[in-house]
Amino acid sequence: MRWDKPILTDCGGFQVFSLSDLRTITEDGVEFKSHLDGSRHFFSPEKVMEIEEDLGADIIMSFDECCPYPSTYEYTKNSMERTTRWAKRCKEAHKTDQALFGIVQGGFYEDLRKQSVKDLVELDFPGYAIGGISVGEPKEKFLEILRMTAPLLPEAKPRYLMGVGTPDYLLEAAMAGIDMCDCVLPTRIARNGTAMTSKGKVVVRNAEYAEDFGPLDDECDCYACKNYTRAYIRHLVKCGEILGIRLLSIHNIKFLTNLMERVRIEIENDNLGNFVKDFYKKYGYTKEEK
């Protein structure tokens, strides 16, 4: 990869959720049916540890089940308890010095979230992730579980919120005490011709940008903004040229990187709350959306 910086690998738990039509869950693990040729592949917690250790990432995740929204209390409870048992098996199978994180599950039931945190903290992982939110639920439900769960995790260990990548959700995560987030969003929307900017989303493939010779974002210092115009990137996207997607991906990732660098500065200055309020106003979110 030629990436001489920290690398994190996930465990496949999200695919247990997203590929539900192609998998079967048992206590031993999960069997997936390939969408390519119908072949079957079985992943146990031990197998997942073997794969992640072979990949050699700095941070690896224990195997979990991510529940869909909504799910019944009984289903969520069984899933959460199985996730804890799998986490224990992952820790027992873990043989390297890679940092193995436990993943808090429990859906949108506060008592299950609290039990999951308690059980995983007793296993003494070097870091903890919050999984199973940002899976299609209303924003108020997301915020409710985030703000309830994050403070329960140990302050002296990394707190990781999985699957979050919009500017407002990243800011809410920081406000709740989260240290790390991940998401495919910046590159996914780039493939659809969309840029994140300091003034909101810009769907650059739209006709209004055909003769717009300004940068994607006049406040951004990324390679794309310094060297290419909206009109040219739109031309690339409309023609199906891969460079257009690459430039939008570079920009979106740099936009979020710049945002989180600013968040760290505002935390050090004890000014994060004011910054978030100003960002919401500038970015175009209404009070109700916040």
Among all residues, which ones are annotated catalytic?
A: 10, 182
How open is the CA angle 253-256-262, to the nearest 5 degrees? 140
* Peptide bond just before 70 cis, omega within 30 deg: yes
Environment class of 57 (CB within 10 Å of its CB; exposed 0-12, middle 13-18, buried 19+):
middle
Residues 196/179, Cβ–Cβ less than 8 Å: no
CB 40 within 8 Å of CB 34: yes
Burial 241-259 (b: 16+ CB within 10 A, else e): eeebbbbbbbbbbbbbebb
